Structure 1
Amino acid sequence: MALKGPTEEEIRTVLMPLMLSGAKMLDKHCPRCGSPLFEKDGRVFCPICEHRARQRKAKMKGIAERLMEKLTELANSLPEDLTELEKHLSVMEKIIGLLERYKKLEGGE
């Protein structure tokens, strides 16, 4: 399924500055989102797909940072009660699993 083309905001914040920087808008369109392809410094690319990928990566990084903060918070406040400790450790285990899946998505080990 193709993503929709550039939004009004993406036209203002991504495409216009790119054209003003000397990039050449081509008469070809991205097969994924339908946005015009650009050429700059001998490289042909879709600025909208690249912009959206950077946004997704930043969002995922923010999520991973929040998970690490929560994991640290839990590790620093381990309860004495065994039942509560088991719950605490179970949550920590789930967070670690989520962080490992995130690393795989990012191309890590």
Structure 2
Amino acid sequence: MITDEEIRKIIAPLLLSGAKMLDKHCPKCGAPLFEKDGKVFCPVCEYREKKRREEMRSVEEVLLEKLRELASSLPKDIEALERHLEVMEKLITVIERYRRLEGGT
């Protein structure tokens, strides 16, 4: 369901920009569909998807930073190095999963 915040942040500016609100609604979220420049779209679903991708990128950035930290501080002791590399491998696996969820970006 569409929230008041989404109406204020998404729909009001669209109307002011000249987008046309249609008499059809999104089957996914129930928000009104819009048309602008010949393109029919659901602004709420587009906004939510963009927000989700930004959140995922942010998580990925944190994981990559941790991976860089680990890579720059490899221990000399073999047992500690093995544990260190195991953690790095797990981080890489998680990063790869996030990228697959994003559609390969």
Gaps in structure 2 of 5+ consecutive residues: none
The superposition leaves residues 35-90 of structure 1 with CA deviations (integer Å, 9 ceiling, x where unpaired) of: 01111111110000000000000000111111110000000111122222111111
Q: 1:76 aligns with which of 72, 76, 83?
A: 72
- The aligned residue for residue 106 of structure 1 is 102
Matches of residues 1-109 of structure 1 in structure 2 within 5 Å?
A: 4=1, 6-108=2-104
* CA distance in 2 between partners of 1:85 and 1:68 (Å): 19
Is the partner of 1:101 in helix, strand or coil? helix
- RMSD between superposed Cα atoms in Å: 1.3
Identity %: 62
How far off its partner does 1:107 sit?
2.8
How many residues are treated as equivalent by the alignment?
105
Gaps in structure 1 of 5+ consecutive residues: none
How far off its partner does 1:29 sit?
0.6
